[in-house]
Structure formats: structure tokens, C-alpha cells
Structure 1
């Protein structure tokens, strides 16, 4: 069973040519992971046609790496993924401190709805 009709097909990021010299495309699980990363990387207001898109992690820059900061980040990530990524059900978002004082690890576990497979994404974010 192919999942492409349901998950879609889009340009692979960063944009670069594929082996045949044409624009490379992502499908299936790779496209979903790219979409989750795009939500994390985007600030609301950056996209003219979707001004609410993104989760706004940059508002946490220069904040202390405290439990309250990480809880706010977790809440914002959960809300943004629920709103902007309908192809997954998020099962867990963990925001934990890293080895460096300004580093937090964002660990997102989710289930792809098209094939019910579990996947996860680990995203490092520096507060400073």
C-alpha cells in the first residue's frame, strides 16, 4: 500500500536537485517529518498566507532553562502540532535540559494516521 496519496508529495528541504538533476521531492514518512520540523522552525506571522502557522519557539530565546520555560515550550509545540499537522496523532512531547545550560532537547513521539506507525523526532533547541 502506498501512502503518497494521503501524505502527499512536496519539495525536499533544503531545496536541492535530485540524482536526475531535477528538484528532489519527499513523500510518506519523510514528508511528515519535514512538516513537523517546519512547524518547529516557523514563527507565527512569517508566512503571509498562513499568519498563524508555526509554534513560536523563538519567543523562548534568552529565557532561562527552567522547568517553567520547558513546560511553556511543550504546551506551544503540542498546540501547534495539533493545529497544523493532521496526518499524525502526537503521543508525547518531552522538552528536557541538555548538557549545556542553554540547550533543550525536544523529543516528539507521534503515530502516522495513514499506516498507524509510530515515529519520533528529536530536535535540539538553544535558548541562547
Structure 2
């Protein structure tokens, strides 16, 4: 078991734990939402998706997000997962990012959808 992110306590007052799949999902979210330059000792970590919440939507933006997010996930989590697909679309004023990946340890397929800066 791993410590859940963000850190919180469970109903018993202990540090919340999460299984391997949940831990990898937490790390995917960290890579996507961390802005490059935000971490002092790893200035190139992340892809800065959170900064795009108020950016104007355009086809160029969706293509750029696809490329940078896919590259960041492969660079930082390539030993834990294989990105099967990463699609970015814009619906009205909302950017939607859908990531499907396979866990390297089990081969199990997982998916994550982010709409307007909120994972679901």
C-alpha cells in the first residue's frame, strides 16, 4: 500500500492508503498538473495543464497539450505505465483531456478524464 495523495487521514484517524493503481493515478495527476519550474530540484517536471484553465481554446492548444502531456507522462512515468491513448478536445470553453494507460506491473488498463482542470 502507498500513501494517498493529496495527504489526508482516513476514518480511523490514520494516514490514508491507496493501492498501486490508485498510486499511479495520483502520480499521473501530479505530472499533468505540475507546472515546469514549480519543483526546485526538478525544474523540467510536469506539463503545466493547470495553467491552461483560463487559456483560450484553439486547435493549436489541443495539439500542443496532447504532445506535451504525452511526452511528460512517458518521461516521468514510463517505467510504471504505457500510455495507450491521450486525446485532448475542446467543448465550448472547456478543455477535456482523456488518458488511457496500462500499468506496467499488471498490464491492467486504466483511464483518467480531466475536464476544465478537474480529474474524474
Q: TM exceeds 0.5?
A: yes
1:25 aligns with 2:24: no
1:87 aligns with one of 80, 89, 93: 80
1:124 aligns with 2:106: no
Which 4+ residue blocks in structure 1 deviate beyond 6 angstroms? none
CA contact 1:95–1:107 (8 Å) conserved in 2: yes
More displaced, 89-98 or 47-56?
47-56
In structure 2, do the counterparts of structure 1 residues 18 and 58 end up closer, same or farther at CA, with 3 Å as the change threshold? closer
Structure 1's unaligned 5+ residue stretches are none
CA offset digits 1:102-128 (Å, max 9, x no partner): 2111000111111111111001126xx
TM-score normalised per structure 1: 0.81
Task: Give the root-mean-square deviation of aligned CA atoms.
Answer: 1.7
Question: Which structure is larger by alpha-carbon Rg, 1 or 2?
Answer: 1
CA offset digits 1:26-55 (Å, max 9, x no partner): 231100111101111100111122221111
Q: Who is 1:113 aligned against?
A: 104
Q: What SS does the corresponding residue of 2:116 show, helix, strand or coil? A: strand
Structure 2's unaligned 5+ residue stretches are none
